[in-house]
Structure 1
Amino acid sequence: MKLSDYIVEFLKDNGVTTVFGYQGGAITHFVDSIYKADGIKFISNYHEQASAFAAEGYSRVSGNIGVCTATSGPGATNLITGIGSAYFDSIPCLYITGQVNTYEYKRSPEIRQEGFQETDIVSIIKPITKYAVMIKDSKKIKFYLEKAIYLAKEGRSGPVLLDLPMNIQRAEINPGELVGFYESEEYKLEISQEVNVENVSSLIELIKKSERPVILAGGGIRLAKAERKLEKLIDITGIPVVCTLMGIDSVNHEHQCYVGYMGSYGTRYSNLAVANCDLLIVLGSRLTTRQTSAITDSFAREAKIVHVDIDKNELNIKVKEDLSIECDLSSFIDNLNQYLINSHYKFDFSSWTDKINSYKKMYPSYEVHKNINEIDPNEFMNKISEMMHPNSIISLDIGQNQIWASQSLKLKKNQRLLNAGGMGPMGFGLPAAIGAWYAKPDYKIVAITGDGGIQVNIQELQTIAREKIPIKIIIMNNNALGMIRHFQEMYFKSNYYGTIEGYSAPNFMEISEAYGIKSLKISNENQMNELKEKLNDDESYVIEVQLKNITYVVPKLGMGRPIEDQEPLLGRNQLQENMIIDMYKS
């Protein structure tokens, strides 16, 4: 059996239905094997970075590993941004790169290059993968494939890479003679860490003593497939839940306990809830400075902090934690729920919930805009929430569009929101949406991007047109790189170099027409009625939302302030009235 055929059968056996990539000389054997196989497709993008993002979108939505392939040299190096995105957000993806024949590969590290397009991709991407290796022995293909898939999914998940020289791809092997990773001495079956009963009982005692608890749900909830268990926990306890950027879709926004998105660009009411809580239960969040602010001693400063994460390296290093628990979230929450049910203990946090609801009423994420000749971005996001099908997947790009959506979209129970967090790469939204559609083609897919982000991977409109993928692409167009423009306004005397000056956007309607995709332009409130039908039909659409050139994301945390003190700043007396605990003193 040809080795590249074996890889395809292996992927199929592991539930992979789609491989994303871009054809090239050093990967043709593998791509040819995909085309000859039934039950698996090769989707050719128009840039390897887009393929990497598509694989990530596929993985996030399917819950399985995403697979992407590229040729050697520039094909492999074009994957780097996507690999980094999957690594920082803990998404299990397998990247398969072509490589020159082993007999052409450089004989010494002192030699820069021997074979055409030869590049040591393994050394380049090792810091942003869980495992990367160039395969030099065809008889070890089963071992490397099994090890790569295992490591991608085991513990804190993440990307892996296998580099395949051309002569290895075309080698003839006998599958029955291959030795796998699971039969090897290297494999040590890691039994899932048992939940420590003392940790569960300690947390319950803290909940019993608490008057103002808050759960902070991070991206780890989705990774652990623990969304339903989290919902059960908040049903039992009535504890309010705030979410990080990566955790926004881990809770049904229609649930009475859902508070909102917290952090530097989070809603003011969510940050006030965290600031004033007396118990913070952190589930699957890294607690970056985008959650805590740079002055970490100000964060939840009068609260007991309990942190549960599968990665011990994330525990008790950024803020002072009262209880740090290394554990799989799904197992931990399940045990916690059972303990609570068996104890028959009743909680009443209604007065605390009333206080949070008063924050929501005072500081909504959007206001009804009085000027119907303009589009208010936050109000727009709230309105399209009401229009979208209950089974929708929304893929966000990076920039102001991402924050407006994260602040003001109201997600229903079965809806998903794809956010790129750690790497924050512009150009993510559109290709990730493509990957999401191949994972769940029966869902409605919406990509929300900006005029800057769409231009990074605009070539993928051809993938959508060619494959007839019914994605709705909403472009929030302010003809500027708005996030950085605001930064320049604050700190660089409004010198808009590279954001307005020296930057421009094309006519997206004409570009859409060139790709053969239908389009719609919205520049005022009266045109919103045209949008609902188009968001829910089975056609592709480019929907350009025309905004003012100068736009803002508010609230926004400035340097040197605690999370409850966002800009535009509240009057000191007003902030004091909102604080149950003492105001922060630096």
Structure 2
Amino acid sequence: MNVADLIVRYLEDIGVERVFFLPGGPVVPLTEAFWKSSKIKLICSNHETGAAFMAYGYAWSRNTLGVCCVTAGPGTTNAITGIATARLDRVPLLIISAMNSIKYFSKKPAQDSSPYDGIDTVGIYEKFTCYSKMITSAEEAGYVMQNAIKIAFLNQGPVHVSLPTDIGFQEIFPGRQILQPGQYLPQSPKVPEIKEIQRASQALCQAQKPLLFIGHDAVQSNAFEEIRNLAETLCIPVMTTAKAKGSFPEKHPLSLGVYGFSSSYQAIQYLKEKHDVLVSLGVEFHENSTDLGSELLMPSKCFIQINSNPLYYGNGYPGDIGLIGNIKEILSIINQTLPKDSLDPNILESRKNFIQATKAKVSRFRDPEKLYSASSPIKPQRLLKDIEDSFPEDTVYVVDAGSSFLWSSHFLTLQKPRTFLISTRHAPMGFSIASIGCKCAFPKTPVVAIIGDGSMKMQGMEIATAVNNQLPVVFVVLNDSRWGAIHFGYELLGLKVDLAKSHSIDFAKLAESLGAIGVTIRKPGEIHKELIDKLLGLAKPVVLDVYIDPKECPPFGARIEAMMNHNAKIHSEEVLDCLASKE
């Protein structure tokens, strides 16, 4: 067994079944080791950024470690955007990069990644990962892999291991122990003291207008049943972040939809009615989850913050009760300790009536009548409704940045958890290529990538990866011949928008040239259940090239107004005029 074999063995032992990969000369030791594995299949991408996105999608879907493997030099730097996305979204991901043989470090080899006269990829990745280490000998290989895997799970983020070619071929000393996961991976975090949990339970029982706010960490803890039990027992309305969309059924009477960037209007309305107790479950408070730090989130009496990560507590919003530990276990204890027999039925009835009255005041959606528009070209609102009505309820939607995110998070109504994947922090264009990783994890579940034409120009060649690996992802392209979010952002700021426009591309023909099925959609109703059932039955990648109404502005929420106020304070009219004239 050599070092490369040892690395593969550690990945097999933690249950990794797919590695997203791009070949190259320095990565040969790992290539050979993966080929010998009967448990891991390599998925060869067309670009390292795509490989990293796919590993992200696999990690999120399986709630496990995602792995991508790349060659030296530009292969390693190409993957940085995907790794940075995993870092900000707190997704456990291992990138293994190749490096030239150590004996050549002083000879200025091609694609030099060394810390000597090269670009020092280990040093670069220290900025984007929780751990970045080069294996310099067979003796330390096991220790480095144990540390990398442990840190990826503990920190919920990416780690980087670099393997020089000559070290990859080094033989492991016979008899060296290979630790099993249980010997180096810690157990789940402990639950808080029962007194603190009882304080939280009491505050919820006494509240007049309580509210649950569900975030990504609650999804990762699989606390779906516990959340629903708590909400239904105490008649508490529920809103989610975009990353937790679907974690509570959005057609449930207690659902208020998504809050944050592109908020549900019903969620905003309930917050305006002055809730008294707010329970945040695994919410990281940042721009997209708080609608730019809105003060509406602050409850009048008690803010209960439940998280697995103590760094989340009080971050941006001061908490009154902090419960740190496994979210699923904490909620299970709360549900068990609720004084069900002593709950005042008048309070429960009052809560129910208040929720109904609040939701009756406003539609959840902006311009809800456009969901049923028969005009052409198809309106994005109608497109999302046609998609929702045509695909099975358990479909997983992987949504790109920009307008794709704004339209989808606002207008899709999802009933099942783990059916909506989006990057809300780094938010790179082309992210929906993570759908290929999701399809590897969910081979029997429909997976749909919702992607703009701009993002398709960046990462669309990965459709060939789906074709080559027989992964029938459906790519829905929002084709409006422009960078939609940028176009409308500039327009609302009073700037010229010419640079945000582009010529039209026939993505259906592009799909066919790559070996996928291409379908052009121009009118409402052309996407329907019969068509989708037929396309899913073909078990091939599909591109639905949808020509949407370019005049429809996506639901930005508070961001544009905040940007305009911000610009008004720090920019003079001369600066804005200068920016506009340069375009």
Global fold match (TM > 0.5): yes
> 2:410 — aligned with what?
407
> 1:195 — aligned with what?
192
Deviations 1:159-213 (CA, angstroms, capped at 9, x unpaired) = 11111111111111136314759899xx795772232212211112221221111
CA 475–353 in structure 1, closer or farther in 2 if over 3 Å, else same:
same
Report deviation, 1:532: 3.1
1:377 aligns with 2:377: no
CA 137–167 in structure 1, closer or farther in 2 if over 3 Å, else same:
same
> 1:338 — aligned with what?
336
State the AA in 2 paired with 1:26. Answer: P
> 1:319 — aligned with what?
317
> 1:269 — aligned with what?
266
1:230 aligns with 2:220: no
CA 160–203 in structure 1, closer or farther in 2 if over 3 Å, else same:
same
Q: 2:247 pairs with 231, 246, 250, which one?
A: 250
Counterparts of residues 24-43 of structure 1 (less than 5 Å):
24-43=24-43
CA 135–404 in structure 1, closer or farther in 2 if over 3 Å, else same:
same
> 1:569 — aligned with what?
none
> 1:543 — aligned with what?
544
1:460 aligns with 2:462: yes
Report deviation, 1:294: 4.1
Determine the C-alpha separation between the residues in 2 that align with 1:393 and 1:296.
30
1:219 aligns with 2:222: no
State the AA in 1 paired with 2:416. Answer: K
Determine the C-alpha separation between the residues in 1 that align with 2:518 and 2:127.
42
State the AA in 1 paired with 2:343. Answer: Y
Larger deviation, residues 520-529 vs 474-483: 520-529
> 1:62 — aligned with what?
62
Report deviation, 1:254: 3.3
CA 435–188 in structure 1, closer or farther in 2 if over 3 Å, else same:
closer
> 1:177 — aligned with what?
176
Higher helix residue share: 2
Determine the C-alpha separation between the residues in 1 that align with 2:342 and 2:437.
44
CA 371–413 in structure 1, closer or farther in 2 if over 3 Å, else same:
closer
Deviations 1:309-331 (CA, angstroms, capped at 9, x unpaired) = 22222221312322233322122
SS at match of 1:250: coil
> 1:575 — aligned with what?
none
Report deviation, 1:362: 7.2
State the AA in 2 paired with 1:354. Answer: Q
> 1:390 — aligned with what?
393
Larger deviation, residues 517-526 vs 407-416: 407-416
> 1:576 — aligned with what?
none
Deviations 1:539-560 (CA, angstroms, capped at 9, x unpaired) = 3211011112233112621566
Larger deviation, residues 551-560 vs 411-420: 551-560
> 2:278 — aligned with what?
280
CA 534–544 in structure 1, closer or farther in 2 if over 3 Å, else same:
farther
Counterparts of residues 117-136 of structure 1 (less than 5 Å):
118-136=118-136
SS at match of 2:136: coil
Determine the C-alpha separation between the residues in 2 that align with 1:471 and 1:158.
26
Report deviation, 1:116: 11
> 2:426 — aligned with what?
423
> 1:439 — aligned with what?
441
Report deviation, 1:388: 1.2
> 1:45 — aligned with what?
45
Determine the C-alpha separation between the residues in 2 that align with 1:18 and 1:191.
25
Determine the C-alpha separation between the residues in 1 that align with 2:440 and 2:187.
32
**Structure 1 spans left out of the alignment, 5+ residues:** 563-586
Deviations 1:242-278 (CA, angstroms, capped at 9, x unpaired) = 0111111322223332210111311211122233222
Larger deviation, residues 206-215 vs 40-49: 206-215
1:206 aligns with 2:203: yes
Larger deviation, residues 51-60 vs 1-10: 1-10
SS at match of 1:320: coil
State the AA in 2 paired with 1:209. Answer: Q
> 1:22 — aligned with what?
22
1:496 aligns with 2:500: no
Determine the C-alpha separation between the residues in 2 that align with 1:270 and 1:332.
25
Report deviation, 1:8: 1.7
Counterparts of residues 503-582 of structure 1 (less than 5 Å):
503-529=502-528, 531-534=531-534, 536-537=536-537, 538-554=539-555, 556-558=557-559
Counterparts of residues 44-193 of structure 1 (less than 5 Å):
44-105=44-105, 118-154=118-154, 156-174=155-173, 176-178=175-177, 180=179, 192-193=189-190
Report deviation, 1:23: 0.5
SS at match of 1:26: coil
Determine the C-alpha separation between the residues in 1 that align with 2:16 and 2:247.
24
Determine the C-alpha separation between the residues in 2 that align with 1:496 and 1:427.
22
Determine the C-alpha separation between the residues in 1 that align with 2:424 and 2:475.
20
Determine the C-alpha separation between the residues in 2 that align with 1:442 and 1:354.
38
CA 118–19 in structure 1, closer or farther in 2 if over 3 Å, else same:
farther
Deviations 1:280-321 (CA, angstroms, capped at 9, x unpaired) = 111111121333344644543535322122222222131232
SS at match of 2:375: coil
Identity %: 23
Determine the C-alpha separation between the residues in 2 that align with 1:281 and 1:487.
33
State the AA in 2 paired with 1:314. Answer: Y
8 Å contact kept, 1:452–1:480: yes
Deviations 1:51-77 (CA, angstroms, capped at 9, x unpaired) = 000001001111221110001111111
State the AA in 1 paired with 2:359. Answer: N
Determine the C-alpha separation between the residues in 2 that align with 1:295 and 1:445.
33
Determine the C-alpha separation between the residues in 2 that align with 1:191 and 1:479.
48
CA 275–165 in structure 1, closer or farther in 2 if over 3 Å, else same:
farther
CA RMSD of aligned residues (A): 2.8
> 2:482 — aligned with what?
480
Report deviation, 1:227: 2.0
1:239 aligns with 2:215: no
CA 495–339 in structure 1, closer or farther in 2 if over 3 Å, else same:
same
Report deviation, 1:366: 3.1
Determine the C-alpha separation between the residues in 2 that align with 1:528 and 1:262.
28
State the AA in 2 paired with 1:62. Answer: R
> 1:573 — aligned with what?
none
8 Å contact kept, 2:521–2:545: yes
8 Å contact kept, 1:366–1:379: no
Determine the C-alpha separation between the residues in 2 that align with 1:344 and 1:157.
40
Determine the C-alpha separation between the residues in 1 that align with 2:542 and 2:308.
40
Count residues with an aligned counterpart. Answer: 553
Larger deviation, residues 533-542 vs 245-254: 533-542
Determine the C-alpha separation between the residues in 1 that align with 2:59 and 2:352.
39
8 Å contact kept, 1:275–1:301: no
SS at match of 2:527: helix
SS at match of 1:305: strand
Determine the C-alpha separation between the residues in 2 that align with 1:505 and 1:171.
53
8 Å contact kept, 2:292–2:558: no
Q: 2:256 pairs with 241, 251, 259, which one?
A: 259
CA 133–280 in structure 1, closer or farther in 2 if over 3 Å, else same:
same
Determine the C-alpha separation between the residues in 2 that align with 1:140 and 1:317.
38
Report deviation, 1:50: 0.2
Larger deviation, residues 474-483 vs 270-279: 270-279
Larger deviation, residues 287-296 vs 509-518: 287-296
Determine the C-alpha separation between the residues in 2 that align with 1:514 and 1:249.
35
Determine the C-alpha separation between the residues in 1 that align with 2:11 and 2:82.
20
